[in-house]
């Protein structure tokens, strides 16, 4: 299937096959500076690492709220690993891959996607994941009295409110970090588009702009 590929040097839209666009961008990516390549490839790792921290913080807060002292490693491991993997996968699927396929030309769309991935996948998801995990541990080890059916909703709202109140600052930070990382990745993508073709004189390109 053919798509429109935007070349900033000429300002024109050229119909090129999807596979050709990927090959062109891959070739240009390899011509970028080592710093740009490293940043583009490691952006998801920065966001995912903070997602793991959010998971561990959420886990710790719920453990305190439910007086859980057992299974410290068992509860911490999934809260560090699952948010990390989920954030990396989401970032690669919705940011890096579309950029490398020429599907994400809108800078605003890129940083909105990054903010959502950072806030939802990198913070809200691990915060909600920590609740059932620690509730199961509290029930298993009888660390806190479990409510009856009629009071269950009110009880869990009371437990969650102070935890999520503290987590909101981490969510704001993750949203800002995700938006920043994707905006920089999009700038690197624009750099790739502005690189001259092999054998083309950069001065000629400047005269076309």
The angle that helices 125-141 and 72-91 make with each other, rounded to 10 degrees, is 160
32 falls within a domain: no
124 falls within a domain: yes
Out of 120-134, 147-161, 189-203, give the one with best mean pLDDT: 120-134
134 falls within a domain: yes
User: What pLDDT is recorded for position 206?
Assistant: 38
Domain that includes residue 80, residue range: 2-9+41-194
Give the lowest-confidence range in 3-17, 121-135, 149-163, 164-178. Answer: 3-17
Q: Which residues contact 108 (CB under 8 A, 6 or more apart)?
A: none
123 falls within a domain: yes
Q: What angle do CA 15, 16, 19 make, to 5 degrees?
A: 155
31 falls within a domain: no
Question: What confidence category does residue 147 fall into, taking pLDDT thresholds of 50, 70 and 90?
Answer: confident
36 falls within a domain: no
155 falls within a domain: yes
Residue-wise pLDDT for 25-45, tens only, equals 999 999 999 999 999 999 999
Q: Could you tell me which residues are beta bridge partners of residue 16? A: 3
Number of domains observed in the structure of the chain: 1
d(CA 128, CA 5): 40
- pTM to 2 decimal places: 0.84
Residue-wise pLDDT for 49-80, tens only, equals 999 999 999 999 999 999 999 999 999 999 99
74 falls within a domain: yes
120 and 86 Cβ atoms separated by less than 8 Å = no
- Please provide residue 5's backbone torsions phi and psi, each rounded to the nearest 5 degrees: -115, 120
User: What pLDDT is recorded for position 3?
Assistant: 56
User: What pLDDT is recorded for position 16?
Assistant: 46
User: What pLDDT is recorded for position 19?
Assistant: 56
């Amino acid at each position: 299937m053919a798509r429109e590929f935007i070349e900033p040097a000429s300002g024109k839209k050229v119909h090129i096959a999807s596979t050709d666009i990927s090959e062109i961008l891959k070739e240009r990516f390899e011509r970028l500076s080592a710093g740009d390549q490293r940043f583009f490839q490691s952006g998801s790792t920065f966001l995912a690492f903070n997602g793991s921290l959010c998971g561990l913080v959420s886990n710790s807060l719920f453990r305190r709220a439910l007086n859980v002292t057992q299974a410290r490693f068992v509860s911490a491991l999934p809260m560090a690993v699952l948010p990390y993997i989920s954030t990396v996968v989401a970032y690669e699927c919705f940011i890096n891959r579309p950029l490398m396929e020429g599907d994400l030309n809108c800078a605003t769309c890129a940083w909105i996607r990054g903010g959502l991935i950072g806030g939802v996948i990198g913070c809200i998801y691990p915060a909600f994941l920590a609740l059932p995990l620690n509730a199961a541990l509290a029930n298993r080890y009888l660390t806190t009295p479990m409510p009856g059916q009629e009071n269950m909703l009110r009880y869990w709202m009371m437990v969650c409110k102070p935890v999520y109140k503290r987590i909101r600052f981490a969510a704001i930070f993750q949203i800002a970090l995700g938006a920043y990382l994707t905006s920089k990745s999009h700038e690197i993508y624009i750099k790739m588009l502005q690189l001259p073709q092999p054998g083309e004189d950069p001065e000629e390109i400047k005269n076309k702009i």
